Amino acid sequence: MLRLFQTHQIRKQRELSGGLWDFATLPEDGTKPVAKKAFVPGCWECDPDTVSYRGRARYERDFFGGGNIRLELKGVSHTAEVYLDGEKIASHYNAYTPFAAVVTNLPEQNHHLQVVVDNSFGEQSALHVENDYQSYGGITRSVALEELGDMYVTRLHVTPVKRAGVWHAKIEAGVRNLTDRKLRGELRLCLGKQGDGERVSVPVTLPAGEEAFYTADICCRWAQEWNPESPVLYTVTALLCAEDGKAVDDLTDRFGFRQVQVEGRRILLNGKALKIRGFCRHEDHPQFGCAIPVEAMQQDLLLMRDLGANSVRTSHYPNDELFLDLCDETGMLVWEENHARGLSEKDMCNPNFERQCEDCIREMILAHYNHPSIYIWGILNECASHTEYGRECYASQFSLIRSLDASRPCSFASCQFKTDICFDLPDVVSYNIYPLWYHNTPPADYLADLYDWVQKETKGAGKPFLITEVGAGGIYGYRTPAKVKWSEEYQAEALEKQLQAILSDDNVSGVYIWQFCDCRVCDSWFGGRPRTMNNKGIVDEYRRPKLSYEVVKKLFKAF
């Protein structure tokens, strides 16, 4: 499945994923390659023959087509090289953002597609590193093949703005000319429940091979607001017509009329202060790795809803757009963040780091801009925000985000206790805290001490304050009257005290529990991670509830 709704009626699009491709590992240590069929999307770690394979592998299949084509891969973990009929047409780093290749004037015939995937670690990979989550291997999200005409719609962004009590939709659309001659035409922009509402037409003039951008501002008196309780979605369609009026391409997306603002210590959604009750969630499952089927995504959302959550944090990377489609439809607020977890100043000095972070930010915002469920962009979870060099990285990434999207606040989750020097940069100050787990300070004392320091000693004073992680470990099925750490009893008691302290503190705009479900971690993290898993889930990796489930449900629903 590509999306939960149809993105094209004119442009021909088909899914190349959703079946078995030829697969072979490409070992470089002399071991015998594994050659077989593999399902796409999928992770090779879910196949017993390649359960621990780390390195390069090749996926391949044929398809029939021709003319101008656009091939989009929604996620390849973690580095891809794409070949068409033996010629490289694309390469991409990072498992969590989509990328595409456009190839023109293909002969109408069978073509051979190869994707060489690499999930190995090394200096070439500054973000996928040995970490407290698994970097899987595979074509882990969907693959789409599209047929284009002489020109096509490259982008369609909608920014909802309320002026004098009336909603407006500010639209930006990109169009690209694939020919070696100037082209003229018309771009028809339509808004509405099924694109049957307001229409605006703009003339298009495109020099050979160029891309141009067009804007429109449409007043929508009929608009119903999107909010968590009533997540009303609308479609926006860009219909591209040639000079003779014939429709040659189209792109449809969905959006919602909602505005997010920061006002003093509050985060406002359509003018109403948010109180976040959420979970951090890794894209991880024992049967699917990070290639979670959309049905299982919805199952996770149902459990989070049952627990009383109103938000999910995509820790620590951009999520599958199918998951974001579900959040849009069900009103689950999303903190989406670029890909980074716990990188030291030394890690951040990797020569590839800044480019790989900024590529991820660009691709995340370009692809996910219209999702109303995303209310905030996050970056660089627990990286070196206590150092001058780290600060330079945070500053450049925040300015990039703001240049791409001025409609959402941005933040980062810090773990630098009373040493962070970056709180002047984000719109929202966010902290990951673990009283009663990594230290035994009473949660209310720890929270008050930290908040007081932020207000008195940093430029984060007066900004909204979020707890973006809190929790404790509990191994599913480990019960003991001793209630020692790693028991389900200890986890439940710790969360009771942590959440009581946080949710009853009016200075705090909300909390994300670390974490929704147990997840796989890299082999080298086995020391502090029993089962080589991060066991702080409220449910285990099979989504079986622990004792803390009812504790969280009671507290999330009480506040």
Tell the smallest beta-carbon distance from residue 430 to ligand ADA (Å). Answer: 11
Cβ neighbourhood burial of 213 (10 Å; 0-12, 13-18, 19+): exposed
Nearer to ligand ADA, 259 or 411 (CB): 411
Tell the smallest beta-carbon distance from residue 495 to ligand ADA (Å). Answer: 13
Nearer to ligand ADA, 119 or 432 (CB): 432
Tell the smallest beta-carbon distance from residue 281 to ligand ADA (Å). Answer: 11
Those residues with Cβ within 8 angstroms of residue 440's Cβ, 6 or more apart along the chain or in another chain: none
Judged by CB under 6 A, does residue 498 bind ligand ADA?
no
Tell the smallest beta-carbon distance from residue 537 to ligand ADA (Å). Answer: 10
Nearer to ligand ADA, 265 or 341 (CB): 341
Number of residues that bind ligand ADA (CB under 6 A): 13
Those residues with Cβ within 8 angstroms of residue 449's Cβ, 6 or more apart along the chain or in another chain: none
For ligand ADA, the nearest residue by Cβ is 132
Which residue from 198, 250, 320, 382 is in contact with ligand ADA, where contact means CB under 6 A? 382
Tell the smallest beta-carbon distance from residue 534 to ligand ADA (Å). Answer: 5
- The Cα 217–Cα 17 span in angstroms is 37
Which residue from 514, 516, 549, 556 is in contact with ligand ADA, where contact means CB under 6 A? 514
Which residue from 128, 341, 463, 520 is in contact with ligand ADA, where contact means CB under 6 A? 341
The full DSSP string for 19-34 is EEEEEEE--SSSPPPP
Nearer to ligand ADA, 235 or 315 (CB): 315
* Cβ atoms of 411 and 426 closer than 8 Å: yes
- The Cα 326–Cα 329 span in angstroms is 5
Nearer to ligand ADA, 196 or 523 (CB): 523
Write the CA distances from 553 to 25, 242, 430, 437, 549, integer angstroms. Answer: 45, 56, 23, 21, 6
Phi, psi for residue 447 in degrees, rounded to 5: -65, -45
CA nearest to 89, candidates 98, 99, 77, 78? 99
User: Binders of ligand ADA among 301-320, rule CB under 6 A?
Assistant: 315-316
Nearer to ligand ADA, 45 or 469 (CB): 469
- Omega before 285 within 30 of 0, i.e. cis: no
Six-digit token pair at 264? Answer: 């003093």
Nearer to ligand ADA, 317 or 323 (CB): 317
**By rule CB under 6 A, what string of x and - marks binding of each residue 105-144 to ligand ADA?**
---------------------------x------------
Which alpha helices (DSSP H) does 166-229 contain, by range?
A: none
One-letter amino acid at 546 equals: K
Tell the smallest beta-carbon distance from residue 517 to ligand ADA (Å). Answer: 13
Nearer to ligand ADA, 139 or 428 (CB): 428
- The Cα 203–Cα 446 span in angstroms is 60
Nearer to ligand ADA, 11 or 281 (CB): 281
Tell the smallest beta-carbon distance from residue 316 to ligand ADA (Å). Answer: 6
User: Binders of ligand ADA among 445-474, rule CB under 6 A?
Assistant: 469
- The Cα 383–Cα 338 span in angstroms is 12
Nearer to ligand ADA, 325 or 469 (CB): 469
User: Binders of ligand ADA among 352-381, rule CB under 6 A?
Assistant: 381
Which residue from 536, 537, 547, 552 is in contact with ligand ADA, where contact means CB under 6 A? 536
Cβ neighbourhood burial of 55 (10 Å; 0-12, 13-18, 19+): middle
- The Cα 104–Cα 84 span in angstroms is 12
Tell the smallest beta-carbon distance from residue 129 to ligand ADA (Å). Answer: 13
Alpha-carbon torsion, ordered 118, 124, 129, 135, to 10 deg = -20
Cβ neighbourhood burial of 553 (10 Å; 0-12, 13-18, 19+): middle
In which element (H, E) is residue 106 found?
strand 99-118
Tell the smallest beta-carbon distance from residue 284 to ligand ADA (Å). Answer: 12
User: Binders of ligand ADA among 79-108, rule CB under 6 A?
Assistant: none
Judged by CB under 6 A, does residue 520 bind ligand ADA?
no
Nearer to ligand ADA, 203 or 528 (CB): 528
Per CB under 6 A, residues contacting ligand ADA are 132, 315-316, 341-342, 381-382, 415, 432, 469, 514, 534, 536
